[in-house]
Amino acid sequence: MDPNLSIRVRLPDGAEVELRGDQAGIERTLNELQGIVSKVYSAFHETKLSQLPAKRSDSDVDVLEGYPAIERPSGSQDGILKMLATDWGKTKPRTWKEIHAGLSHNAVHLSEGSVTGALTLMLQAGKLRRVKLGDTYAYTLPLSAR
């Protein structure tokens, strides 16, 4: 057996953890891997937060906010409905940028035009409400669907 094993784990946000050592050491570390990955993720996350600009405009997507996990949608409108049906979507009306970022966070990669087009169609069909927030519009589920 090779006394110098190496295992690399890549997190969804791009951070990596690499383990090197003998087989017994790797096996012990694997039993604690979840805690190690959690610590590494926290360290990277805190570093990213400290590097953010202090002042942001209200029209920017809230990058500090955690997006909800949703089931795989059948299409763009289904994805938007699933995002807005979560606690995240119900706390306050969400801009198209927030919805787009939340979908991307859930590996639903749509163009900006697809998201805004779907929002317009859903608004016309009565599946969503639109409210004015400062200079922009935000979307929420109709009162009857909440």
Of 98, 64, 65, nearest in space to 84 by CA: 98
Domain count, the chain: 2
Q: Do 43 and 81 lie in a common domain?
A: no
Q: Do 100 and 46 lie in a common domain?
A: no
Say what the pLDDT of residue 60 is. Answer: 41
Q: Do 83 and 140 lie in a common domain?
A: yes
Q: Does residue 69 lie within any of the structural domains?
A: no
Say what the pLDDT of residue 56 is. Answer: 43
Say what the pLDDT of residue 71 is. Answer: 92
Say what the pLDDT of residue 38 is. Answer: 72
Output the domain CATH number for residue 94.
1.10.10.10
Say what the pLDDT of residue 118 is. Answer: 96
DSSP secondary structure letters along 24-60: HHHHHHHHTHHHHHHHHHHHHHHHHHHTS-S---TTS
Kindly report the pTM of this predicted structure: 0.56
Q: What does each of the 146 residues of the chain score in pLDDT, given as a tens digit?
A: 456 777 776 666 566 667 788 888 877 877 776 776 677 667 666 555 555 554 444 434 444 458 899 999 999 999 999 999 999 999 999 999 999 999 999 999 999 999 999 999 999 999 999 999 889 999 999 987 55
Instruction: Decide: 79 and 128 in contact? Cβ < 8 Å.
Output: no
Q: Which domain holds residue 45?
A: 5-50
